[in-house]
């Protein structure tokens, strides 16, 4: 039973990893990355590693997507600011 | 007896405190604290070097002594080789911090904590006896290095170098972790001695796959062909003190990691197989490739970076020879190269401080006023060519003693890198010939890294370079150099002794017999090599005055376009090469090892 | 190199690596075959030797505590690196001050935020703080520990950001003490190790009385280190958030005036 469950979960993880890579929009990609992190946490839990699962939830599903979102926000902001400055110079 | 833990703990604590209080403490306090900490590390590492040479010891953190054969905690194994490298790391860090005293931009106080974390990681990496602990320090070293690499990025464009560095080295870390996981699944152990004993010389496909992944991971750090692409990019954006540590010790520590794991885990598995030849092949290709690219380069830091690749390739070759004499020679070569390369980078830093450029054509003839930098630079160039009077020569002689066929590779790589450095010296300090070709890399714009660039040259800028070049020459003339190296190599290779030491606490290392005098034999080739380096350099500089058909060195300098295009700056390319290289290492190891 | 060539090169490499990996993995123990003598030994020893009911934390903070010290400083140097790369323009030498002026962009879409979200996120702010502290202090008893607790603590201010309580959020993340706590937490871990040295034991030896198994104040240095890690991680993540949002926040503050 655990074998089937484990293999199914691993297949799901592989599929969702592919999904993360194939998503084009960065914001959507971040959300799918968060989902992928959650699946990993589930896997750790299934393999009887609750400590790692907790760390995976906090980091993989919260902290990492948060960092990516922050970076995206900052990049957008930076682009807008430099674009405006360039316009004014012209 | 100073606790080995202090090598790691003290720099970390000082780094954390400097980071916590960075807005409150003045610059000179940070400078002083960092230099004193690094010097303290140097003292502890030297003390251990002196004692561990005769009596290697294990130090169990948390007092967790092994139960039977099972290591419960993490152990440091203090032996001559590891302590020697820890001492070199501490020495170079001390000098780099002295070089950056007051002048150097500290990036809002972030510079000193990162340097100290870097030092702690290197020290821990050098003496750790636990494979996962090695990985942790590998990562710590990388994280600090990425940040230091991006220290003076005022624009997004130079960030690319740091980014490529981070991407390739993270892939390397993944490969290493895969290797560690495979080994753990086979042995249930993380302690190097315990893994080695558990494998009992088995060399099935699992062990070989683990070997391939671990070795590739380490060789990426060691910048071996075709994993080397990140190194020149990282060097051209890094500030000088960081370049010194990258080229002088970090890259060689990558090789040392591969050596340590090979000596403890895989030595028994691959005894009698052709696997060590893998290192010989990789090293030889890297040495020649690096030498060629070094000569073709016109950006001073990138040129020195390619020379580091070439020389680390030679060290990898020496590792593949795997005899006691070769490992002793490798040890001397590593230390001597670290000193010479650091000296050359310090000289480059002085040029950058004074003239705010790193491009050879732009510096043409400008260095005439620098009376002190010029001799240091030329001595450094001769040192890279392993001329007599430099410790590289002694190291090389011992490596080629058991492997005379390696002499040709040492000759070509040494002469090429030496010639490249001497060529730059002739153009910059003597103003000979013309300014040389202008290519893409020579046009790379270098931002000043010091706060008072172009002004007075203070003695703190010179002192480190003098210490480095002088130290390398002193090592060649000190009688004990080879004896120390032979003792370190003997205990490094002896896995039975290592395992016994880990479980028994400490063992007395048998003193090797006095090494025979090889220097008279090696002196002829060393003189020839130095002369060849000078000749090629002069040839390249004065190419217009020699007959047309004899102008090949200057052709080597210019048009190697397709080869240089490989250094594209695209991280995807580098990872593609890395993947291919890892596959080749794996398939070759399966072929040689099974 | 052209994209096609790169992919081709990578494909060859990837196939080779897959081959080597599969060749190795086929020699691995079969699925579900547990061969970890270390795990068995630790499970037997940890409660007895360290009075810690969560053996994983006994391993991470005691048996292999030295690794965790290294990992702690990986986070420390990563945070320092982020702060270094994201330092504001004026701190960078040799660079003119970035052009300012013009209409500062609104960094968030103000229109669409329901009251439900606002009330709910504010309500679970307190809960999140409590849960973070609980997790950081109970690592020796139940799964969790300083690292996980620290991340939860750092996530709490983000709830304020979602609830658009920008002022409170900014006051928390831009507080100068955050940086101090980040360094102090990291140094605290190593200092606990040094404390053992001064008592003549090996570095990171558990020298604090172990207490009663199952008590909050049990397992000696494990609890103390866990608390230090919690402080460091919480402050570190907060610092990263601040580093990213610093310029945007100051712009928003100007916009609000």
Nearest to C144 among A54, A73, A85 (CB): A54
* Residue B454 in this model has a pLDDT that exceeds 60: no
Q: Model confidence over B182-193: pLDDT tens digits? A: 999 888 889 999
Average pLDDT, chain C: 83
> How close, in Å, is residue C199 to chain A by CA atoms?
32
Touching C: which chains, 3+ CB pairs < 8 A?
A: A, B
Question: Do A74 and C244 lie within an 8 Å CB cutoff?
Answer: yes
Domain count, chain A: 1
Residue C257 to residue C251: CA distance in whole angstroms: 10
Question: Do A73 and C245 lie within an 8 Å CB cutoff?
Answer: yes
Q: Model confidence over C14-61: pLDDT tens digits? A: 999 999 999 998 888 887 777 778 888 888 888 888 888 888 888 999
User: A10, A77, A85: which to substitute to probe chain C, counting the most C Cβ within 10 Å?
Assistant: A77
Highest-scoring range by mean pLDDT, A17-21, B566-570, C111-115: A17-21
User: B16, B198, B591: which to substitute to probe chain C, counting the most C Cβ within 10 Å?
Assistant: B16
Smallest CA-to-CA distance from B227 within B172, B294, B147, B303 is with B172
Q: Model confidence over B522-531: pLDDT tens digits? A: 788 888 888 8
A51 in contact with chain C, both atoms CB, cutoff 8 A: yes
Nearest to C143 among A51, A62, A84 (CB): A51
Domain count, chain B: 1
Question: Do C94 and B185 lie within an 8 Å CB cutoff?
Answer: no
Residue A53 exposure: Cα atoms within 13 Å on the Cβ side? 13
Instruction: Burial-class residue C195 by CB neighbours within 10 Å (0-12, 13-18, 19+).
Output: middle
Question: Do C29 and B185 lie within an 8 Å CB cutoff?
Answer: yes
Q: Model confidence over B269-326: pLDDT tens digits? A: 888 888 999 999 999 999 999 998 888 888 888 899 999 999 999 999 999 999 888 9
Query: What is the mean predicted confidence (pLDDT) over B435-454?
Result: 63
Q: What is the model's pLDDT at position B32? A: 93
A77 in contact with chain C, both atoms CB, cutoff 8 A: yes
Query: What is the mean predicted confidence (pLDDT) over B256-274?
Result: 91
What is the predicted ipTM? 0.91
Question: Do C70 and B124 lie within an 8 Å CB cutoff?
Answer: yes
* Residue B109 in this model has a pLDDT that exceeds 50: yes
> How close, in Å, is residue B97 to chain C by CA atoms?
18
> How close, in Å, is residue A75 to chain C by CA atoms?
10
A79 in contact with chain C, both atoms CB, cutoff 8 A: no
Question: Do C21 and B178 lie within an 8 Å CB cutoff?
Answer: yes
Q: Model confidence over B174-225: pLDDT tens digits? A: 999 999 999 998 888 899 999 999 988 788 899 999 999 999 999 999 999 8
Assigned domain for B309 exists? yes
C99 in contact with chain A, both atoms CB, cutoff 8 A: yes
- Which residues does chain B have within 8 Å of residue C97's beta carbon, measured at their own beta carbons? none
On the question of a cis peptide bond just before residue B226, with omega within 30 degrees of 0, the verdict is yes
Phi and psi at residue C182, in whole multiples of 5°?
A: -60, -50
Q: What is the model's pLDDT at position C99? A: 39
C242 in contact with chain A, both atoms CB, cutoff 8 A: no
Question: Do A51 and C56 lie within an 8 Å CB cutoff?
Answer: yes
- Which residues does chain B have within 8 Å of residue C95's beta carbon, measured at their own beta carbons? 154
Weakest-pLDDT range from B265-274, B383-392, C123-132, C243-252: C243-252
Question: Do C183 and B20 lie within an 8 Å CB cutoff?
Answer: yes
Weakest-pLDDT range from B385-399, B539-553, C79-93: B539-553
User: C30, C77, C94, C97: which to substitute to probe chain B, counting the most B Cβ within 10 Å?
Assistant: C77
Beta bridge partners of B299: B359
Smallest CA-to-CA distance from C38 within B129, B56, B68, B318 is with B68
Q: Model confidence over C115-137: pLDDT tens digits? A: 888 888 888 888 889 999 999 99
Distances (CA, A) of B485 to B51, B228, B519: 14, 28, 15
C107 in contact with chain A, both atoms CB, cutoff 8 A: yes
Give the B:C interface size as CB pairs under 8 Å: 250
- Helix (H/G/I), strand (E/B), else coil: B290: helix
Weakest-pLDDT range from A6-20, B40-54, B444-458, C186-200: B444-458
- Which residues does chain A have within 8 Å of residue C155's beta carbon, measured at their own beta carbons? 58, 62-63, 66
Exposed e or buried b per residue across C44-80, where buried means at least 16 C-beta atoms within 10 angstroms of its C-beta: eebbebbbbbbbbbbbbbbbbbbbbbbbbbbbbbbbb
Smallest CA-to-CA distance from B461 within B300, B350, B372 is with B350
Domain holding B360, by residue range, is: 274-477+525-558
Assigned domain for B549 exists? yes
Q: Domain residues of chain C, as ranges?
A: 40-88+113-256
Q: Phi/psi class of residue B432: alpha, beta or left (left: φ > 0; alpha: ψ in -120 to 50)?
A: beta
- Which residues does chain C have within 8 Å of residue B188's beta carbon, measured at their own beta carbons? 35-38
- Helix (H/G/I), strand (E/B), else coil: B482: helix
Q: Model confidence over B469-479: pLDDT tens digits? A: 999 999 888 88
Question: Do C151 and A51 lie within an 8 Å CB cutoff?
Answer: no
Question: Do A77 and C144 lie within an 8 Å CB cutoff?
Answer: no
C209 or B172: which leads in pLDDT: B172
A71 in contact with chain C, both atoms CB, cutoff 8 A: yes
> How close, in Å, is residue B405 to chain C by CA atoms?
31
Assigned domain for B566 exists? no
- Which residues does chain C have within 8 Å of residue A55's beta carbon, measured at their own beta carbons? 147-148
Q: What is the model's pLDDT at position C105? A: 40
Average pLDDT, chain B: 87
Question: Do B206 and C27 lie within an 8 Å CB cutoff?
Answer: yes
Question: Do C20 and B210 lie within an 8 Å CB cutoff?
Answer: no
Residue B49 to residue B127: CA distance in whole angstroms: 11
């Amino acid at each position: 039973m655990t074998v089937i469950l484990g293999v199914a979960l691993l297949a799901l993880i592989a599929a969702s990893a592919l999904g993360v890579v194939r998503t084009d929009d960065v914001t959507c990609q971040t959300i799918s990355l968060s989902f992928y992190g959650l699946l990993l946490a589930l896997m750790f839990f299934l393999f009887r590693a609750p400590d790692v699962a907790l760390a995976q939830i906090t980091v993989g599903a919260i902290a990492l997507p948060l960092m990516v979102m922050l970076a995206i926000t900052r990049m957008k902001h930076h682009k807008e600011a430099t674009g405006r400055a360039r316009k004014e110079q012209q | 007896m100073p606790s080995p833990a202090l090598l790691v703990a003290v720099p970390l604590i000082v780094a954390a405190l400097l980071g916590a209080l960075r807005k409150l403490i003045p610059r000179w306090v940070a400078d002083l604290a960092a230099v004193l900490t690094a010097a303290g590390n140097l003292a502890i590492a030297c003390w251990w070097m002196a004692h561990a040479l005769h009596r290697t010891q294990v130090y169990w953190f948390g007092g967790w002594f092994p139960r039977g054969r099972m290591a419960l905690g993490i152990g440091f194994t203090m032996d001559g080789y590891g302590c020697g490298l820890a001492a070199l790391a501490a020495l170079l860090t001390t000098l780099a911090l002295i070089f950056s005293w007051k002048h150097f931009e500290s990036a809002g106080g972030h510079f000193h904590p990162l340097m100290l974390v870097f030092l702690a990681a290197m020290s821990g990496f050098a003496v750790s006896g636990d494979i996962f602990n090695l990985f942790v320090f590998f990562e710590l070293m990388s994280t600090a290095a990425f940040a230091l690499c991006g220290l003076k990025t005022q624009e997004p464009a130079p960030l690319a170098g740091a980014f490529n560095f981070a991407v390739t080295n993270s892939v390397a870390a993944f490969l290493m972790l895969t290797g560690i996981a495979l080994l753990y699944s086979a042995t249930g152990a993380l302690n190097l001695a315990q893994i080695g004993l558990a494998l009992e010389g088995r060399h099935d496909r699992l062990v070989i796959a683990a070997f391939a992944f671990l070795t590739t991971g380490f060789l990426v750090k060691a910048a071996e062909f075709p994993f080397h692409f990140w190194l020149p990019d990282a060097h051209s954006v890094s500030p000088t003190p960081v370049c010194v540590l990258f080229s002088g010790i970090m890259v060689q520590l990558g090789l040392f990691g591969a050596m340590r794991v090979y000596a403890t885990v895989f030595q028994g598995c691959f005894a009698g197989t052709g696997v060590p030849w893998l290192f010989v092949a990789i090293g030889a290709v890297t040495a020649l490739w690096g030498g060629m690219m070094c000569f073709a380069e016109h950006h001073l830091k990138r040129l020195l970076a390619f020379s580091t690749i070439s020389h680390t390739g030679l060290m990898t070759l020496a590792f593949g020879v795997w005899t006691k004499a070769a490992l002793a020679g490798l040890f001397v070569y590593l230390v001597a190269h670290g000193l010479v390369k650091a000296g050359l980078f310090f000289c480059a830093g002085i040029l950058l401080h004074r003239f705010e450029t790193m491009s050879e054509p732009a510096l043409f003839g400008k260095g005439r006023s620098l009376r002190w930098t010029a001799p240091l630079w030329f001595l450094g160039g001769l040192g890279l060519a392993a001329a007599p009077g430099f410790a590289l020569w002694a190291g090389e002689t011992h490596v080629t003693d058991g492997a005379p066929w390696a002499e040709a590779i040492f000759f070509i790589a040494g002469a090429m890198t030496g010639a490249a450095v001497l060529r730059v010296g002739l153009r910059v300090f003597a103003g000979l010939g013309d300014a040389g070709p202008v290519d893409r890399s020579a046009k790379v714009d270098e931002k000043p890294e010091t706060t008072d660039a172009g002004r007075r040259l203070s003695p703190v800028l010179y002192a480190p370079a003098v210490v480095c070049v002088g130290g390398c020459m002193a090592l060649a003339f000190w009688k004990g150099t080879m004896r120390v190296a032979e003792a370190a190599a003997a205990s490094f290779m002896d896995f039975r002794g290592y395992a016994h030491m880990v479980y028994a606490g400490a063992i007395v290392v048998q003193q090797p017999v006095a090494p025979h005098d090889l220097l008279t034999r090696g002196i002829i080739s060393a003189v020839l090599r130095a002369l060849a380096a000078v000749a090629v350099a002069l040839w390249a500089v004065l190419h217009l005055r020699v007959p047309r058909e004899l102008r090949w060195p200057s052709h080597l300098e210019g048009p190697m376009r397709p080869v240089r295009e490989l250094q594209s700056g695209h991280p995807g390319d580098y990872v593609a090469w890395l993947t291919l290289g890892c596959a080749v290492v794996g398939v070759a190891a399966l072929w040689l090892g099974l | 190199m052209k994209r096609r060539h790169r992919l081709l090169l990578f494909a060859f490499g990837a196939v080779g690596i897959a081959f080597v990996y599969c060749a190795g993995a086929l020699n691995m123990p079969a699925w579900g075959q547990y061969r970890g003598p270390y795990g068995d030994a630790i499970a037997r020893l940890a409660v007895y030797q360290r009075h810690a009911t969560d053996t994983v934390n006994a391993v991470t903070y005691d048996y292999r505590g030295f690794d965790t010290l290294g990992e702690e400083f990986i986070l420390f140097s990563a945070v320092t690196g982020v702060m270094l790369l994201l330092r504001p323009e004026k701190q960078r030498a040799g660079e003119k001050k970035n052009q300012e002026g013009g209409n500062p962009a609104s960094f968030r879409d103000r229109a669409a935020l329901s009251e439900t979200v606002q009330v709910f996120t504010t309500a679970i702010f307190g809960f999140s703080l409590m849960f973070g502290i609980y997790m950081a202090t109970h690592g020796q008893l139940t799964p969790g520990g300083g690292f996980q607790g620290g991340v939860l603590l750092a996530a709490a201010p983000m709830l304020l950001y979602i609830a658009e309580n920008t002022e409170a959020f900014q006051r928390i993340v831009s507080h100068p003490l955050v940086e101090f706590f980040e360094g102090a937490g990291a140094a605290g871990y190593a200092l606990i190790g040094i404390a053992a040295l001064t008592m003549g034991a090996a570095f990171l030896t558990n020298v604090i009385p172990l207490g009663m198994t199952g008590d909050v104040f049990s397992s000696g240095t494990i609890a103390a280190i866990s608390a230090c890690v919690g402080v460091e991680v919480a402050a570190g993540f907060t610092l990263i958030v601040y580093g990213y949002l610093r310029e945007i926040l100051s712009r928003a503050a100007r916009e609000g005036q």
